[in-house]
Amino acid sequence: VSSAAALLDDFAARIVAKNPQHASFLASSLSLMSAEAHASLSQYIDYCLAAGLDIGYLADCYNTITIDTQLEQIYFRKHKRYRWSQFSQVADKVYFNDTYMRKYMYGLALTSFLWPNHAAIHDFFRRTFPRDIGGRYLEIGPGHGYYLMEAARLGGFDTLVGVDISATSLALTRDIVRHSGVDRSSRITLIATDFLAFFESSADYSCIVMGEVLEHVEEPARFLRKIAEMSGDTTHIYITTCINAPAIDHIYLFCDPAEIVSMANDCGLAVVEQFCASYVGKTLEECRERQLAVNIAYVMKRA
């Protein structure tokens, strides 16, 4: 058994020890993952260990997001809405709570390998990402920073800017960027602010990424409009969100992909490619009928 395989076995065992109901989901996820995905996951865990975390804490991070999401799913099934609808109702519990936010963000990064729906979105990001385009990159809500780090590797940008409302998210992003060394080839600026308050006087970005932010804000259309305003004719725009997907801090409920596309169109954006990842083990049709969570990603252009 390789040391990477032993590490993943240990990680999985610790998750299951605290959350035995998750055992079959996890075993199935791990068995469906490609060798490349196994390697990326164990590299991410290695990075976390090198950053001073321990494997038990990482298992706790993963269990935190899994269990909290399950609790919100129960609420959503009963009430047909997300528990909260205002930023102020979740801000102190989540974004400005350093202990919780760290767990949530490390957990979220781990789900991008371990939850088949999140892994499918992650693959779509890599598959559609413009390689070696250079220029300036903007990411709104980098959170754990994994996508920003990958973008720096894939895109060959001169400058990358990350804007996040949570100081904890920016600390995590700063750490992964430094550890991976991508800050040696590009200039990376991380700014703690609400994207709606972010002011940039300079030119267009060659790429703008906003993963899982729209459902976290009260007025998603303002985010889309601002992205359109900051884009040029050729800017690669990548946006993800979700439908009927409760989570502790999801406050804006989208019920149908058509709603998102029409909002984007109204804000001056055109969809180039759409990708839907259905609830694990269900078809998109079943998800529509039973209001199950669907993750959704778009490549867009300024219209």
Query: Is residue 212 near ligand SAM by the rule CB under 6 A?
Result: yes
Q: How many CB atoms lie within 10 A of CB 260?
A: 23
Lookup result for tokens 């006087």? 201
C-alpha–C-alpha distance, residues 136 and 30, integer Å: 36
Residue 162 within binding range of ligand SAM, rule CB under 6 A: no
Choose which of 40, 64, 169, 180 interacts with ligand SAM (CB under 6 A). Answer: 169
Residue 115 · residue 277 · CB < 8 Å = no
Nearest distance in Å: CB 217, ligand SAM: 5
Nearest distance from residue 45's CB to ligand SAM, in Å? 17
Of residues 172-201, which lie at the interface with ligand SAM (CB under 6 A)? 194-195
Site for ligand SAM in 221-280 (CB under 6 A): 240
Q: What is the secondary structure of 32-79 as a DSSP string?
A: HS-HHHHHHHHHHHHHHHHTT--HHHHHHHHHHHHHHHHHHHHHHHHH
Interface stretch with ligand SAM, choices 61-69, 134-142, 264-272, 278-286 (CB under 6 A): 134-142
Q: Binding-site residue total for ligand SAM (CB under 6 A)?
A: 20
Asked whether position 102 contacts ligand SAM by CB under 6 A, the answer is no
Q: What is each CA distance from 186 to 5, 149, 252, in whole angstroms? A: 33, 11, 34
Of 107, 135, 155, 211, which lies in the binding site for ligand SAM, with binding defined by CB under 6 A? 211
37 binds ligand SAM (CB under 6 A): no
- From the list 62, 113, 129, 147, which residue makes contact with ligand SAM (rule: CB under 6 A)? 147
User: CB–CB of 285/114 below 8 Å?
Assistant: no
The DSSP letter of residue 200 is -
CB-nearer residue toward ligand SAM: 23 or 276: 276
**Number of helices (H), then strands (E), in the chain:** 12, 7
Instruction: Give which of 239, 228, 249, 50 is closest to 166, Cα–Cα.
Output: 249
DSSP state of 252: S
Is position 299 an interface residue for ligand SAM (rule: CB under 6 A)? no
Q: Please select the residue that binds ligand SAM; options are 29, 42, 69, 166, rule is CB under 6 A.
A: 166
* Binding region for ligand SAM (CB under 6 A): 95, 108, 140-143, 147, 163-166, 169, 194-195, 211-213, 216-217, 240
